[in-house]
Amino acid sequence: MVKLRTVYRCTDCGVAYPKWAGRCGACGAWNSLVEDVEGDEELISIATGMALVPPGEPKPIDALDAKISKPKSTGVEELDRVLGGGLVPGSVTLLGGEPGIGKSTLLLQLLATWSGKTLYVTAEESAQQVRLRAERLDAIKPDLWLVAEMSLTNIVNAIDQVKPQLVIIDSIQAIADPQLNSAPGSVSQVRGCAHRLVQEAKARDLPIVLVGHVTKDGGLAGPRVLEHVVDTVLSFEGERHHALRLLRAVKHRFGSTNELGLFEMTESGLRSVPDASKLFLADRRSGVPGSIVVPALEGHRPLLIEVQALTNLSPSHVSPRRSAQGVDAGRLAMLLAVLER
C-alpha cells in the first residue's frame, strides 16, 4: 500500500516543501511552515476517518430525538458541574494539564463511578502500572477494560471488541495511525488521529475523552485544529506541592464555560470540594492587619477568598513600585486609582 508522505506547508500561501525551513521561499513569511501530509485522496480519507462518514440526510430539527443528546452523569460531582451535567453521547472531550497534576487520576476515578462498560487506552504506561494506580484509587471493577496500545487501528479494533459506553485515551500525542508516515505526536499524526476518533465517536454515539499534553507556556501541545475538532476542552490546573486542583472548561459546545470545578488531592485520589471557601480560609488568622476576606463570583459559584496587602517604605534613592500575585497588575492599578479619589 502506498503510504502518505510528510511535507511542510506554508500557512500563509499554501506552498509545500519536502523539508522544513525558517522562511517560505514563495511568500517570504517566517516560521509559517507546518507539518502536513500528501498522497492519494482515498488514503487520506481513510486515515482521517472521513471514509467512515455516511452521507448526511437532511431532517427537520423538530424531528430529531433530543433525548439521545442529553448528558450522562459522570458520578464525579465537580466534573459534572463543569460539564453542565455530564458527558454527552458522541462527544469528544480533550483534557489538558501539566505532567503530574492528576489527569490520569481524575479519569480513573471517572471510570470507577461511570455506570456501564468502559475502556481505558494507555499509550504511555503499561497495563500493569495503570492497574496499580487503579487499586490505590479503589477503581477496580469488572466493567473497566484496559489496553496498552499506541496504534490507532488496534484501538478502533479494541472498541469494536469491547463495545464500551465510554473510552479514555491517554494520550492523543502518544498514539499513531500506521497510514500516516510520521512519528507519534507530530502535527499530521495528532490531526489525523483526532479526526478519526471524532468520526468514531459520532458514528457510535460514544463519548471519548482524550488526554492532551501542554507546552511550557501552559497551552495545549499540537496543532490548533485539535481544539477545533473536539467538542469540549478542559484545563486541569494546580501546583504539585499544593493539594488544590482547578478544573475549567476552555471550550464547551454543550454548556457554559464559566463554571469552576475544585478538587483536593489526597492519598486516596482526588476529592471534590463543594465548600471551597472553607478550604481557602482554613489557615487564615483573624484580626491581622493587611488581610481581608472578599466575595468573588466564579461562574455561578460564590467564593470567599482572602486578599493580603503589605507595604514598606522605599529608600530615598529607589523609585516606589507595586507588585501583585494572583491579581492582574493593570486592574490593581485601576482599583487603587479609584480608591485614591
Q: pLDDT (tens digit, 9 = 90+) per residue, 121-137?
A: 999 999 999 999 999 99
User: Is residue 45 in a domain?
Assistant: no
Q: Looking at the structure, do residues 270 and 284 belong to the same domain, yes or no?
A: no
Q: What does the block give as the cell for 173?
A: 500525542
User: Is residue 321 in a domain?
Assistant: yes
User: Is residue 21 in a domain?
Assistant: yes
Q: Looking at the structure, do residues 130 and 92 belong to the same domain, yes or no?
A: yes
Q: Looking at the structure, do residues 285 and 332 belong to the same domain, yes or no?
A: yes
Q: Residue 106: enclosing H or E segment and its boundaries?
A: helix 103-113
CA–CA gap between residue 204 and residue 207 (Å, rounded): 9
* Domain limits for position 246: 71-274
Contact 92, 229 (CB under 8 A): yes
What is the number of structural domains in the chain? 3
Put residue 117 in one of left, alpha, beta given phi > 0 → left and psi -120 to 50 → alpha.
beta
Q: Looking at the structure, do residues 251 and 300 belong to the same domain, yes or no?
A: no
User: Is residue 109 in a domain?
Assistant: yes
What's the confidence (pLDDT) of residue 141?
Answer: 92
User: Is residue 172 in a domain?
Assistant: yes
User: Is residue 58 in a domain?
Assistant: no
**List of the chain residues with pLDDT < 70:** 1-4, 11-12, 14, 37-55, 66-68, 222-223
Q: How many residues does the chain have?
A: 341
What's the confidence (pLDDT) of residue 170?
Answer: 92
What's the confidence (pLDDT) of residue 314?
Answer: 82
Q: Looking at the structure, do residues 196 and 329 belong to the same domain, yes or no?
A: no
Q: Looking at the structure, do residues 83 and 110 belong to the same domain, yes or no?
A: yes
Angle CA 147–104–191, to nearest 5 = 70
Q: Looking at the structure, do residues 211 and 304 belong to the same domain, yes or no?
A: no
User: Is residue 60 in a domain?
Assistant: no
Residue matched to cell numbers 480533550? 94
Task: Compute φ and ψ for 2, nearest 5 degrees.
Answer: -75, 125
Pick the closest to residue 88 from 202, 168, 164, 259 (CA basis): 202
pTM: 0.78
Residue spans of beta strands (DSSP E) within the chain: 5-10, 16-17, 33-38, 92-97, 118-122, 144-148, 166-170, 208-212, 232-238, 244-252, 260-266, 269-272, 291-298, 301-308
What's the confidence (pLDDT) of residue 1?
Answer: 47
Q: Looking at the structure, do residues 263 and 317 belong to the same domain, yes or no?
A: no
